[in-house]
Structure 1
Amino acid sequence: MYKSREGANCLKLKRSRFLKRDREAVASTVGTIMALLVFLTFLSLFTNSYIPVWMQANERSHMNVVLNQFGDLKGRIDNMIVSAKITGKTEFMMYSPITLGSEGIPIFASPTAGQLIYAPVGSPNTGFSMRFNYTLSGERVEFNESGGGFIQLWAPNRYYVQQWVAYENGAIIVKQVDGQVVRAFPGILLQKIENKVNIV
């Protein structure tokens, strides 16, 4: 009987050590799961609240930069037109950078890419045409002028408003889904000299 009590006590001691180790393992597992839940809560709060605000600011900043760059492009082209009128030369070299996309947030949000579109003069989807006749001193005069072509940046923004910015016929046009506006008007000059109307 003495031996069986000693064996039973030894078995209880081994079992209690095993249970103690088992309880420590359960506690560390629960602690790890709780730490992961806290981390995931903060991560989801960051990605659902802060990332959209940050990306909207990035895309808005990009559109402001693009408007300034298109204004610079218009200024350079206007200077080329004036130089051509003064010097009589029509061949000039000019460059003007256009930023195609906004910055992203590493790991969390990819950059927003833009698309630059160029349509030369005579493209079917751009341009203007002015045709009219008038009689001057009994003589019929036909007026037929056409122009066209554009450079356009399409910014398919995900967090800010999608916009199209275009330089067309000397004007800078900003288009959104709900409408469009001319941000810089073309230089049009009407002159009447000796019963003639010149459009410059």
Structure 2
Amino acid sequence: MRYIMDDAANVIIVAVILLLGLFALATAIIHTTYTPEWRRSSEAEHMEEVFEDFEDLKRGIDIVASASADRVVTLSQDIRMGGGGIPVISPEKSGGMLKTDPLLPSIYIATDSYTRTIAFEHLGSIAFTSDNRFALDRTYIYENGAVIVSEINRTMMRLPPSITFKRFNNGTKAVTLRIINMSLDNESVASSGIEEISFTYRSSTTRFSDAVTDVSITVTSDHTPAWEEFMLDGVRRAGFNESEYDVSSSESVRLDIHGDVDLTIVEVKVDGRIEPVIETGD
């Protein structure tokens, strides 16, 4: 009887060892084969979440600028810094860097054969750069009312600024620019949690509104390809003839519009900063 019980115990031990081995093998296969793809997909979803945060940021400033000309208004926007974790299997999150730049971009608008120039320098920008483990890293930038995405060597404008182009049947063209002038400090924070950007709307002022002849708009930015594409697309969609405009770019992008132009320029001033988020335990 004792030998039979010993044999049964040995069988159980062997079975347990085999099960543990199969579990370890399955876990290894999951981590090497499936987890990277799951993480890549989850991190890509997080990149879209960050875009949604920047979209909300832009929308909030646009709404306040349109509706609160005479009031000081404060608003805030959360930025989801980290993501991509998979419960149990791979719970650690990716992270990112949120940074404010008080300098670029700058916009220069000249009219009437450069006899009149209006300069908007150091408009400021806000950027989030991801630190992904598996998905391609991206940078989202908010500057002068536009949301730009940069990935590897490619830069594109996901959401356009409040700059519009129109062409009337008599050949007159209309250009309206809303300049978002942000007063920022040089701040940065890296985390995998949630960070907050706080804005205080100060004023909205019409800086210029008149009929002019010839307009030149120059944008100095670290993301000139996105601005060049936006300007070209804008005048083409408005129905400008090819003889009515020129676009050139190097370190900056310049749009020249020839002929009569109804030009309106509105400057929106806001203060912005990264606010520390205090996380409390349960």
Output the TM-score relative to the length of structure 2.
0.52
2:65 counterpart residue number: 81
State the Cα distance separating 1:145 from its structure 2 match.
Answer: 2.6
Counterpart code for 2:129: W
Residue 9 of structure 1 corresponds to which residue in structure 2?
none
CA contact under 8 A between 1:154 and 1:164: conserved in structure 2? yes
Structure with bigger RCO (C-alpha 8 Å, 6+ apart): 2
AA aligned opposite 1:155 = S
Matched, 1:193 2:210: yes
Asked if 1 retains the 8 angstrom alpha-carbon contact of 2:210 and 2:264, the reply is no
Hey, what's the Cα distance between the residues in 1 that align with 2:33 and 2:264? 54
- Partners of 1:146 and 1:134 in 2: CA distance: 21
Check conservation: 1:55, 1:105, Cα contact below 8 A.
yes
The aligned residue for residue 93 of structure 2 is 111
Task: Name the Cα RMSD after superposition.
Answer: 3.1
- Is the 8 Å Cα contact of residues 147 and 169 (structure 1) preserved in structure 2? no
1:130 matched to 2:108? The reply is: yes
How far apart in 1 are the matches of 2:146 and 2:77?
Answer: 16
Partners of 1:135 and 1:147 lie apart in 2 by: 25
Q: What per-residue deviation string (whole Å, max 9, x for no partner) do you get for residues 169-192 of structure 1?
A: 111001111311100110114257
Match of 1:168 in 2: 143
Higher helix residue share: 1
| 2:121 corresponds to | 146
The 1:22–1:195 alpha-carbon spacing in structure 2 relative to 1, beyond 3 Å, is closer
Residues 134 and 142 in structure 1, CA contact (< 8 A), matched pair in contact too: no
Which one of the candidate residues 14, 33, 38 is aligned to 1:54? 38
For 1:4, the equivalent position in structure 2 comes to none
Q: For structure 1, which segment, 158-167 or 98-107, has the greater mean C-alpha deviation from structure 2 after superposition?
A: 98-107
Identity within the alignment, %:
24
Question: 2 CA distance for matches of 1:54 and 1:20?
Answer: 48
Matched, 1:95 2:70: no
Q: Following the alignment from structure 1 to structure 2, what is the Cα–Cα distance between the partners of residues 49 and 172?
A: 35
The residue that corresponds to 1:45 in the other structure is 29
C-alpha deviation, 1:157, in angstroms:
1.5
State the SS of the aligned residue for 1:159. coil
Q: Distance in 2 between matches of 1:37 and 1:195?
A: 80
- Say if 1:21 and 1:180 are closer, same or farther in 2 by CA, change over 3 A: same
SS at match of 1:158: coil
Deviation at 1:46, TM superposition (A): 1.5
TM-score of the aligned structures, taking structure 1 as reference length: 0.71
Alpha-carbon distance change, 32 to 195 in structure 1, aligned in 2, over 3 angstroms: closer
> Which protein has the bigger strand share?
2
Q: Secondary structure at the match of 1:98?
A: strand
1:71-94 deviations in Å (ceiling 9; x for gaps): 11111111122124xx333x2111
Q: Distance in 1 between matches of 2:121 and 2:55?
A: 24
- Which has the greater radius of gyration? 1
